[in-house]
Amino acid sequence: MALRSATLNVMTKAARAAAVRLKRDYGEVEQLQVSRKGPADFVTAADERTEKILRNELERARPDYGFLMEEGGIVKGKDPTKRWIIDPIDGTTNFIHGIAHFAMSIALEDNGEIVAGLIFDPINEQMFTAEKGQGAYLNERRLRVSKRESLDVSLFATGIPFLGRGTAADHQRFLVEVNAVMAVSAGIRRFGSAALDLAYVAAGRFEGFWESELQPWDIAAGILLVREAGGIITEIDGGDKMLESGSVIAANSAMHGPLRQILRSAKA
């Protein structure tokens, strides 16, 4: 592995500090106090604790940086050009149901560009990291996207709309998309964490991923991971404003175009 930068050292230290308590909370998931944040959108005491630890660790190391956080919102820093984008638990619903598929996501944004990203699956000890121009890694191993070039052997991932997210028409449109991708691919997976879905694209486990109505903290670190692993990530319509629109399609270079065409045709 390339020598880890001071920035990634800070991010890794923060993630591992937060993971100590998060693993304990996961072990006692049935005793967690869970409140409703919105229809089918849960916030747990573990979310808030994890975010607080991450913020404290990052703030201690980089006191002038701002924050964009899932629970805490926007915190302006003395340095207006840099901010951390944090999701303390991406896959909260999995977490509170005792399903071991969730992750912390930390990204560093510099003048509107993501320059460092970390996605940490603490239960399985999978630390995905990337820095602009330095490649993507899983623990000590360099990552590259899949080399599969045919739809019929390609595996794709997505996120399924749920109660309170999207209209009935949105749900129907999604079913049309899924049917179109199922008809030509080796399969579709829905694991419940957009951050890990993007990390899996970077690792070559999925050939592609698509989803709409995501939040910046869901995808910021994953955007960089996919790009540094040699993949392509855009909005579904081909634009480059994923953090603003929440629309994402990520894939290896061979599958990005075909997957995007299938999704566009399904909406026609």
pLDDT band at 28 (very low <50, low <70, confident <90, very high): confident
Same domain, 181 and 66: no
72 is in which domain, residue-wise? 6-142
3-class secondary structure, 73:
strand
Band the pLDDT of 76: cuts 50, 70, 90: very high
User: At 138, phi and psi to the nearest 5?
Assistant: -115, 110
Mean pLDDT of the chain: 93
Q: Does 138 lie in the same domain as 10? A: yes
Same-domain pairing of 167 and 135: no
Lowest mean pLDDT among 35-44, 83-92, 115-124, 195-204: 35-44
For the segment 111-130, the average pLDDT, to the nearest whole number, is 98
For residue 47, pLDDT beyond 80: yes
Q: Other C-beta atoms within 10 Å of 247: how many?
A: 19
Residue 170 — pLDDT band, cuts 50, 70, 90? confident
Report pLDDT for 161: 78
Q: What pLDDT is stored for residue 44 in this prediction?
A: 85
Task: Give the pLDDT of residue 38.
Answer: 64
Asked if residue 168 and residue 137 are part of one domain, the reply reads no
If asked whether residues 155 and 136 sit together in one domain, one would say: no
Q: 142, 164, 182: which is the final residue of a domain?
A: 142
Residue 266, pLDDT score: 84
Domain finish residue from 85, 113, 142? 142
The pLDDT confidence band at residue 119, using thresholds 50, 70 and 90, is very high
Is pLDDT larger for residue 74 or for residue 140?
A: 74
Q: Is residue 1 part of a domain?
A: no
**Which residue among 142, 168, 184 closes a domain?**
142
Same domain, 134 and 155: no
Q: How confident is the model at residue 162 (pLDDT cuts 50, 70, 90)?
A: confident
The CATH number of residue 18's host domain is 3.30.540.10
Average pLDDT over residues 214-237: 97
Residue 103: inside a domain, yes or no?
Answer: yes
Q: What is the pLDDT of residues 171-187, one digit of tens each?
A: 888 899 999 999 999 99
How many of the other CB atoms lie within 10 Å of CB of 188?
A: 17
Residues with a catalytic annotation lie at 70, 87, 89-90, 92, 218
1 pLDDT above the threshold of 60: no
Tell which residue, 239, 259, 254, has the closest CA to residue 145. 254
Residues 80 and 179 in one domain: no
* Coil vs helix vs strand at 146: coil
C-alpha 165 chain-centroid distance: 18
Residues 37 and 74 reside in one and the same domain:
yes
Q: Tokens representing 42?
A: 């849960």
pLDDT in tens, 81-104: 999 999 999 999 999 988 999 999
According to the model, what pLDDT value does residue 50 have?
97
Which residues, including other chains, have CB under 8 Å from residue 9's CB and lie 6 or more apart?
A: none
Whether residue 173 is contained in a domain is answered as: yes
CATH number for position 225:
3.40.190.80
- Are both 26 and 130 inside the same structural domain? yes
Q: What is the spatial order of strands in the sheet that 232-234 belongs to?
A: 187-189, 155-158, 208-211, 248-251, 232-234
Q: Do 193 and 127 belong to one domain?
A: no
The count of structural domains within the chain is 2
Answer with the residue of higher pLDDT: 166 or 18: 18
- Residue 165: inside a domain, yes or no? yes
Same domain, 32 and 95: yes
Q: How many residues does the chain have?
A: 268
Distance CA 195, CA 175 (A): 22
